[in-house]
Structure 1
Amino acid sequence: MKVLYCGDVVGRAGRDIVIEKVPELRKELDLDFVVVNGENAASGFGITEKICQSFYDAGVDSIVLGNHAFDQKDIMGYMANDVRLIRPLNYPEGTPGRGAAAFKTKKGKSILVLQAMGTVFMDPLDNPFHAVDKILQTGRLGSKYDFIFVDIHAEATSEKMAMGFHCDGRVTAVVGTHQHTPTADAMILPQGTGYQTDAGMCGDYHSVIGMEKEEPLRRFTKKIPGGRFSPALGEATLCAVLIESDDATGLAKSIRPIRIGGHLIQT
């Protein structure tokens, strides 16, 4: 199977490049499944039903979120009914939505998508390692599932790396998000799991992690907020990770970054 994962989509610039490029990439790379992190898609904070639908219309199969999952006031009711929209699974019991979902591709292959949120320098949610273990107990890679994809949405690179090794050999790939900067460590771990610490963002990189520079610079230099953060609207880069799995085992055959458009060096 070939699965594409697009990192955090930030604002309109990020939305536009995802909607433009995903249909092309599906054809060019013969993709079986596309996952997008949409937690910053609505002006940098959360996601809306309309944005979800625009991603689905472009060929996205599933959307994962993160610490901004509930920033938009109307999303909780919608999330309860959209099985393709996935929030971190280690929120407390009773939180709206779901942290994992299983899908069938057009070729009849099964894929499990799940997301956990880190707790180092972030909200004190339930233990993400225990939460992932609980989900993985419901079905094994190569048996119930042909592909298992884990997004670890975390601040600390150490926590992301630990999740990669924790899942090694049990899932197809572990890819991190939240830092909005693509890391140069795409690799296959010793037991066959594809890994990258952070997929990067889909957005304008002439910014401070996707936001117009002025307000972050003011807060760093003067320590006084002067207004709201607003997403940068310049030319965007699509940052993604492409994972190809072995049909016999479900483990990763290859994992590589993809960067298209904008200001970063292209892959």
Structure 2
Amino acid sequence: MDYSGKRKKMRILFIGDVMGNSGQKMVQEYLPKLKRKFHPQATIVNAENATRGRGINEKVYKAILSYGADIITMGNHVWDNPEITSFIDSAKKIVRPANLPAKQVPGVGYVIMQINQQKLAVINMQGRVFMTPSDDPFAVATGLIEKIKKETDFIFVDFHAETTSEKQAFTWFFDGQLSAVIGTHTHVQTNDARILPQGTAFLADVGMTGPYDGIIGMKRENVIDRFLNQMPTRFEVDEEGRANLSGCLLDLGDDGMAKKIQTIQINADHPFEE
């Protein structure tokens, strides 16, 4: 269906799990450079860990937008910084998981942004395996897709989940109905970027933006101690060491389906090239 009389291709840049001050600094430094290099029409950033590794506040939300993000997605740590409840309803560019009890929590689970003559829907979804309780992501997504398809075929999903199998199952179930399903949450970029037979792009986890020498963003010593002695340990973001940026680039065709997916890493072992 032609919604505007003129269909155009679309390029999306997605940056994964911004972690603490280290992650914020990487976004500030490299997001403008990435946008100049790749010229995306839409830039999405997951920032559920942006403040001290837990949640986000209004100052950081506005800062990440000022660095070049168009939409900010969240995840299971969405409420960990209590300040978010004071501004999320007025924050038009932040999306929390859509399968939280919609009438019981503030915020929205998807947004539709205008890009020239096109529209892009950005959905945030949370998995249920080894995660805090939430509604069925398959059922919730089915209803949302039916509604959103009346406006646009360009639909991006940030699927925030623990297990690769749940992310894969979700993507295969909706292959041909979604432009892309990109995983977040586990903080390690996977090597399985692909386009499924009906045109939906998939990546099990886009990776983390933040500490490069920590353990999934936390100070190594604390995490190692937990494995050695099983004693309760306070995890802290490793803000002193080297940093990393993880992301991916998507090219969508006229029909909203993916034509290309490319992973991005910027760190000491993968320097940024202009």
The aligned runs of 1:203-242 (5 Å cut-off) are: 203-242=210-249
The total of aligned residue pairs comes to 263
- SS of 1:137's equivalent in the other structure is helix
The separation in 2 between residues aligned to 1:172 and 1:128, in whole angstroms, is: 17
The separation in 1 between residues aligned to 2:100 and 2:244, in whole angstroms, is: 31
Task: Say if 2:110 and 2:123, in contact at 8 Å, map to a contact too.
Answer: yes
The separation in 2 between residues aligned to 1:238 and 1:44, in whole angstroms, is: 15
The separation in 1 between residues aligned to 2:13 and 2:174, in whole angstroms, is: 19
Match of residue 34 from structure 1: 43
2:177 aligned with 1:170:
yes
The separation in 2 between residues aligned to 1:197 and 1:228, in whole angstroms, is: 25
**1:30-67 alpha-carbon deviations (Å, 9 max, x no partner):** 11010001001101000110111111111100000001
- 1:186 CA displacement: 0.4
Task: Say if 1:258 and 1:266, in contact at 8 Å, map to a contact too.
Answer: no
**1:182-210 alpha-carbon deviations (Å, 9 max, x no partner):** 00000000100111000000012211100
Q: Structure 1: 5+ residue runs without aligned partners?
A: none
**1:57-103 alpha-carbon deviations (Å, 9 max, x no partner):** 11100000001001111111211111210000111132110110100
Task: Say if 1:37 and 1:64, in contact at 8 Å, map to a contact too.
Answer: yes
The separation in 2 between residues aligned to 1:23 and 1:3, in whole angstroms, is: 14
Match of residue 104 from structure 2: 94
The separation in 1 between residues aligned to 2:233 and 2:166, in whole angstroms, is: 33
- SS of 1:130's equivalent in the other structure is helix
Match of residue 5 from structure 2: none
- SS of 1:237's equivalent in the other structure is strand
The aligned runs of 1:1-267 (5 Å cut-off) are: 1-92=10-101, 93-105=103-115, 107-140=116-149, 144-246=151-253, 248-263=254-269
- 1:266 CA displacement: 7.2
The separation in 2 between residues aligned to 1:87 and 1:3, in whole angstroms, is: 19
- 1:129 CA displacement: 0.7
Q: Residues 82 and 6 (structure 1 numbering): CA distance in 2 closer, same or farther, change over 3 Å?
A: same
- SS of 2:262's equivalent in the other structure is strand
Moved >4 Å (runs of 4+): 263-267
- SS of 1:133's equivalent in the other structure is helix
The separation in 2 between residues aligned to 1:191 and 1:257, in whole angstroms, is: 20
The separation in 1 between residues aligned to 2:240 and 2:117, in whole angstroms, is: 39
- 1:237 CA displacement: 1.3
Report the more deviating stretch, 174-183 or 255-264: 255-264
Q: Residues 99 and 231 (structure 1 numbering): CA distance in 2 closer, same or farther, change over 3 Å?
A: farther
- SS of 2:23's equivalent in the other structure is helix
Instruction: Give the letter aligned to residue 258 of structure 2.
Output: A
- SS of 1:175's equivalent in the other structure is strand
The separation in 1 between residues aligned to 2:45 and 2:199, in whole angstroms, is: 23
TM-score normalized by structure 1? 0.94
TM-score normalized by structure 2? 0.92
- 1:144 CA displacement: 2.2
Give percent identity, aligned residues only: 37
The separation in 1 between residues aligned to 2:245 and 2:164, in whole angstroms, is: 21
